[in-house]
Chain A
């Protein structure tokens, strides 16, 4: 059919060119019109049973997700005062670039805080608190406390604390204050300081909030530049400033990619020019690359047709995978350019070309069942691109490749002669690969695909040592349609953790950063007040007697503590958000609360209260207990990575098995001979085995990017097998081995050169392509002909041919 079409349009090539130009323009237009999404959600599983996407959404809301942390470390010779002045100067200098800058806990401590803490106590009190209060009520303890108060009145401090003594002689506000420790995410900071100061006093911390999205490389760069300039201006010699934030990783990635692109593009451009000059030698060969590239827009449009948002990552990978389709135009170019009978050559070329396209098409189709929307988009993109590129190769390329008179007239049936010893060499390499392949690990950790410099790692480590593990705490979300519902769930989470044991010390519960200790739900507050009332009903009479006698002995007047006894008799009101906001805790509380509009209706909101716990404390038992709390969501970064890893590993194994089944199925239907199927599969199998083996020998892991690059190996490897088999049995074109060689070399030049990149993701693609394509092309060019000859000689000897 394609031969006839070629003959029909051969007389009117201008019409073909015009039609192609229209196609290319429309495709380009589609590409420009399609909005690409830059977030990485397309790489997260979206199946119903997976929690990865949900956890990812919650992780974005973590209190430390967008914060920039600056640690200031005083070297020898620097005083605490100098360090403090430096922190103040730096805070002031960076303030214009951030939404909020903190150099101490976000508490605007009011002068009457002890009074407010006392007011809150009946609503917060627990059994442990009551035990402490009961100890203070004992006569001896009371006498000691009132003596101290009396002595304090001789000192100048007594001028200010006299009223507080009268309203709270037992200093019960201290018990409420103990609850505030649950608001401190920095377990290792000096609790006595008003600023973020380390226990040894040699470090200070500045915490800056920003609206800049972590993934925005440009804005991250500007922000980090501002921070660095401020550090240069305000931090003197002898103080070391260490900055830690997610933005730095974005920046490190972006800068590494920029550097890599300069190197890789330089190397690949030189390599492709060499291939062009040595093997193609015509300007018309440019169409070999232009035609496949022009299907990009329509392929992206096909994705947009089936998916609500088109992932930029999908399009990026898709463009890489378009390398497969260069095969089609390359075979047409080399076959027709060196033949006098273009239509006949095209007819001979069409079956292996369609066969190669079909196997690649179906190999990609298995990605449609992936749990990652990005991979499903990639399937649609690649299937469209392969179909269109194949049609362009068969319909348009024949009119563009011209004729090279020098090589015309070569016999297409001339056999390829390869020494049989190649088989032994290949067997040895495959055996070695098979030995090492089992050592290959699958690494689903997204962090290993990101650039992390030694400086960043050292900074993270220092921050963790000095300030605790706050950046990687597990998050416990308590959800509800109302704030009260969320607080009720939060109470349950708090109770579960408080009743468990710390991994480090079984005597105490794990440290939990939680609002529940100062803002329980109304129901819990009522229970606490009930507990408080019952306690004082039991204790009030004996306390009144003790207070009367002890205070009289110390010379206090009978009305000295009337404000306190009067307060005990008064009904106590509920405390709410407003109460703590007025007490100066607005920022501390807002950092642990999330109000989100529901998707369907922006006027209604859902509430979530966040608690933080060290991920190391999250044992499987505790996790199970927390998961049993209705409305609670546990999100731990380590668990999230594990889940993602499992999802990707599962997806990868499924994809490899399905792709091989599909490819083998197509080849069986195509050839209907076991020997032909095995020979056609030999390059792809060898390429994959060599890739696995080489990566195993070098101790490399297989990651998400290797998976996608492996598709390239499968697609190209099967093509190489089909074309070389058609070359061996004389049904194909005489230029097939040259086309396979050029295809492999261009792929290696374009993608194999990525092995020089420092960025882990780009390097991974380079490694996969370098090992996989090298193994596949060498097998296709030398081992397939050798096996073919061997098989045919044996069958000829057996008299079966």
Chain B
């Protein structure tokens, strides 16, 4: 019986410690270092302007859907998301209000975020990426770090988005200042990848960018 003791202790170690190590590895919480780097960088970003290329891998289509566009953000609550090719469309948000448009339709349509749950959800996502708002992200997603240099976060939705989103992968630039890529993995295995390039931080952005459909 005495001889069994080392085996029992070994078994306890194997059964209790090792799985916990494995789990810890899989859902590594964001270290204070990463948090601090992102928070410091986010505080320095006042405006952000990027071009983007979007690739959609959808089972509904035989081929990949590619599109390009522009993204503008100004602290704290102004945003423009515009698709240039293959079809012009987009929206601007300033505070609680916004406008959206489509190239085939003259003018633009106003909306209010508190009355449009879908747009509200989209705006929250885009602002979260732009601001690198970790508090908001942690409230809505289970957050884990896939890589620390460059920082890559994995976001698994907690509630409202869980019905159509499996997870997101967000990659920041080398200086942690802005998002360079977002991968949106849907529950049905469809995937969207958005690569942001030509990003410019803290340049002056004309007010009209966040209010008008047409940019001069």
Binding site for B on A (CB under 8 A): 81, 84, 109, 111, 151, 153-157, 159-163, 165-166, 192-195, 555-557, 559-560
Contacts and interface: CB of A to CB of B under 8 A. Distances in A.
Interface in B160-193: 160, 163-165, 184, 186, 188, 190, 192
Nearest to A84: B114
B56 A153 contact: yes
B207 interface: no
B195 interface: no
Nearest to B61: A555
A161 B87 contact: no
A81 B61 CA distance: 42
B125 A156 contact: yes
B94 interface: no
Interface in B125-170: 125-126, 160, 163-165
Considering the complex of A and B, which 7 residue pairs feature the smallest CB-CB distances, nearest first? Answer: A560-B60, A156-B122, A154-B67, A151-B87, A194-B115, A557-B62, A555-B61
B83 interface: yes
Given A111-B163, A151-B89, A151-B102, A157 B118 contact: yes
A198 to B, nearest CB: 15
B121 interface: yes
Contacts of B192: 159
Nearest to B165: A159
B118 A153 contact: no
Contacts of A165: 60
A154 B65 contact: yes
Given A159-B186, A162-B58, 5 more contacts: A81-B96, A153-B58, A162-B186, A557-B59, A557-B61
Contacts of A154: 54, 56, 65, 67, 83, 86-87, 89
Interface hub of B67, B164, B165, B184 (most chain A Cβ within 10 A) = B164
Interface of B: 54, 56, 58-63, 65, 67, 81, 83, 86-87, 89-90, 96, 102, 114-115, 117-119, 121-122, 125-126, 160, 163-165, 184, 186, 188, 190, 192
B193 to A, nearest CB: 13
Nearest to B194: A156
Contact of B61 (A155, A160, A556): A556
A352 B89 CA distance: 100
Contact of A155 (B63, B83, B115): B83
Nearest to B62: A557
Query: Which of A84, A154, A160, A161 is the most central at the interface, judged by chain B CB atoms within 10 Å of its CB?
Result: A154
A653 B160 CA distance: 71
Contacts, number: 70
A156 B83 CA distance: 10
B90 to A, nearest CB: 8
Contact of B118 (A84, A161, A163): A161
Name which of A160, A193, A555, A560 has the most chain B CB atoms within 10 A of its CB. A160
A195 B81 CA distance: 28
A111 B163 CA distance: 10
A690 B188 CA distance: 91
17 contacts: A111-B117, A153-B56, A153-B58, A154-B56, A155-B89, A159-B184, A159-B192, A160-B122, A160-B164, A194-B114, A195-B115, A555-B62, A555-B63, A556-B62, A557-B60, A557-B61, A560-B60
Contacts of B114: 84, 194
Contacts of A81: 96
A549 to B, nearest CB: 15
A153 B125 CA distance: 17
Contacts of B121: 160
B2 to A, nearest CB: 62
A559 B59 contact: yes
Contact of B60 (A155, A159, A162, A193): A162
Nearest to A551: B60
A761 to B, nearest CB: 48
A154 B52 CA distance: 12
Contacts of B188: 163
B62 A162 contact: no
A166 B188 CA distance: 12
Contact of A157 (B96, B122, B186): B122
Most chain B beta carbons < 10 A, residue from A159, A165, A192: A159
A159 B89 contact: no
Contacts of B115: 192-195
A560 B65 CA distance: 14
Nearest to B88: A151
Nearest to B63: A555
Contacts of B90: 155
B61 to A, nearest CB: 5
A556 to B, nearest CB: 6
A555 B62 CA distance: 6
Nearest to A557: B62
A194 B163 CA distance: 23
A154 B85 CA distance: 10
Nearest to A192: B115
A588 B4 CA distance: 70
Contact of A162 (B67, B96, B190): B190
A584 to B, nearest CB: 13
Contacts of A109: 117
A157 B126 CA distance: 12
Given A155-B89, A156-B122, A163 B59 contact: no
